[in-house]
Amino acid sequence: MPARNVKGNVQAQDKILYVANKLGLSSLKYMQATTRVIYDQSTTAAPQHTLFEGAAGRSFPLTNLGANGNQFQVDEALLVEKIAFFVPDADDGQNFTASTVSFKFDLIIGNKTVMKDVVVERGGQQAFYNDGTVASMVLDLEGVGILIPPQVEFKLQVKGVATDTRTVQSVRCGAYLFGTGVLLNFNTSI
């Protein structure tokens, strides 16, 4: 079991090390910790989006992932603590306001669905809701977190849902994954 802080909560670094140990990634403890934010988006309206998959074929500002796309390099990882959604702007006349759409998603890491049929409501009814404002579309996983290990592909499968009718809508979609990250540290012996 991961170590706990004074309040009894598992700290992000402890969870990363615990999962890394279970996966046999013993060198992760020597890497550099950081706060990390990654994002991807689709500016074409569609009823379903697969974000992060194929990100290597997109460039900044559509995504901030590089040539490795939807997997981290050796000795890099991300403990996802928050997932945020947004509706990208476009000049195609299909400009849905963020107040009319909620998002239903699955988070898939490797070949495992680790979050299934999670709905992030525009008005904030989702579990782990963070601040109670109507403008927020953030799912807060703090205290739980989900680790994306190195060299394992990950993706979000997302559907836009009309907030009032609960029907799937063709919308543009983007998502951020926020959390504690691990970066390759060359200050150790290789």
Contact (CB, 8 A) for 40 and 172: no
How confident is the model over 119-165, as pLDDT tens digits? 888 655 444 444 444 445 888 887 778 989 888 999 999 999 988 88
More confident residue, 13 or 121: 121
Give the C-alpha separation, 39 to 55, whole Å: 9
The predicted-structure confidence for 55-98, as pLDDT tens digits, reads as follows 999 888 889 998 888 998 887 888 898 999 888 876 543 444 55
User: Given this model, what pLDDT does residue 140 score?
Assistant: 86
CA 140 to chain centre: 11
For residue 20, is pLDDT > 90? Answer: no
Q: Which residues touch 157 (CB under 8 Å, ≥6 apart)? A: 48, 49, 50, 51, 105, 106, 108
**pLDDT value, residue 101:** 83
107 pLDDT above the threshold of 50 = yes
The answer to whether 93 touches 146, Cβ cutoff 8 Å, is no
> Whole-angstrom Cα distance, residue 144 to residue 59?
31
Report whether pLDDT(105) > 80: yes
Q: Which domains does the chain have, with CATH numbers?
A: 32-183 (2.60.120)
Backbone angles phi and psi of 39, in degrees to 5: -145, 160
